[in-house]
Amino acid sequence: MKILVFGKNGQLGAEILHEGLKFKHKIIGVTREDVDICNYDQVSKIISKYEPDVIINTAAMHAAPHSEIYPEELFVINSFAIHNIATITRKKKIKFINYSTDYVFDGTKGKPYIEGDIPSPLHMYGLSKFTGEIIASNYDENSITIRTCGVYGGVSGSRVKGNFVLNMLREARSAKVIEVSSEQIVSPTYAVDLARATFELLDKNPMGGIYHLVNSGYCSWAEFAQEIMNLKKNNVKIKPVDRKGLSGGIKRPTFSALANIKAKKLGVELPSWKNALKRYIEFLPNNI
């Protein structure tokens, strides 16, 4: 299969390119310098140029305090750009895969969310991704939206904010005690496993709709941070703090772990979050 990947330099996009080759697909990656996905004509032109069988969109704008005050760019990238892609993929009968987030939920369920649970975002980022889900399904009913959670990977993580693991390791260089949220329960997910599972799902030729792909199990961010220190044999003390879901000026769901139900029925499963974290720590250079 020929696959066109939007956002090839991102934390997930880089792994999609790498893992796709293992599945013997022809992978073409593009950046925002190559195409502005918010521009319909540019999207149409690059799709016509490469004529892919599948489009995987990993480009997105993530949560930030200023997005609550100035959400326009957030919605343009996370929502309206999806219209550009989905309109074309439906017309050309190209399989479209997009990614969403656990942040479409409000965290009040108290146990992992399944694909059929009704979203109720708490902030603009979650709302923009939920809107993107609706647009994808409305404009291309065969499109696949993959919800995931707490993604981390790569030597440097995402270009904007690194990732949780790298940030903890960097803070641990100078801190003796690190305060970490104890009330937010998540399913942290290794980008390598997410990329691999994406291709495993694609190979099953699934029906369009929502799928959850996360490393199995769940934990608080404080528990995750403690496991990082344990694996690095670092004596920094992790101090669990109940922040009532507030972080970076944004209200976040307190229990947003996801359950992989639909993909599991097709035979697609991801390893446990502890197994994934161990492999990531082993992958990172010793000086990080």
Pick the CATH number of 2-153+190-214+258-270 from 3.40.50.720, 1.10.150.170, 3.60.150.10, 3.40.250.10: 3.40.50.720
The dihedral formed by the CA atoms of 125, 129, 130 and 133, expressed in degrees to the nearest 10: 180
Neighbours of 242 (CB within 10 A): 12
Predicted local distance difference test score (pLDDT) of residue 110: 94
Q: What is the pLDDT of residues 88-105, one digit of tens each?
A: 999 999 999 999 999 999
pLDDT at 249 > cutoff 80 = no
Predicted local distance difference test score (pLDDT) of residue 68: 86
Q: Where are the alpha helices (DSSP H) in the chain?
A: 11-22, 40-50, 65-69, 72-75, 81-92, 124-139, 164-172, 191-203, 221-232, 262-265, 273-283
Q: What is the pLDDT of residues 134-145, one digit of tens each?
A: 999 999 999 999
Give me the mean pLDDT over the 148-173 stretch.
93
Give me the mean pLDDT over the 195-205 stretch.
97
Predicted local distance difference test score (pLDDT) of residue 149: 98
User: What are the extents of the domains in the chain?
Assistant: 2-153+190-214+258-270
pLDDT at 247 > cutoff 90 = no
Predicted local distance difference test score (pLDDT) of residue 218: 98
Nearest Cα to Cα of residue 214 among 262, 254, 174? 262
Mean confidence (pLDDT) of the chain: 95
At 13, is the pLDDT very low, low, confident or very high (cuts 50, 70, 90)? very high
Q: What is the pLDDT of residues 26-66, one digit of tens each?
A: 999 999 999 999 999 999 999 999 999 999 999 999 877 77
User: 């197994």: which residue's tokens?
Assistant: 275
Q: What is the pLDDT of residues 250-280, one digit of tens each?
A: 889 999 999 999 999 999 999 999 999 999 9
Assess contact for 281 and 190: CB atoms under 8 A: no
Contacts of 262 (CB under 8 A, 6+ apart): 115, 206, 209, 210, 211, 212
At 248, is the pLDDT very low, low, confident or very high (cuts 50, 70, 90)? confident
Give me the mean pLDDT over the 187-202 stretch.
98
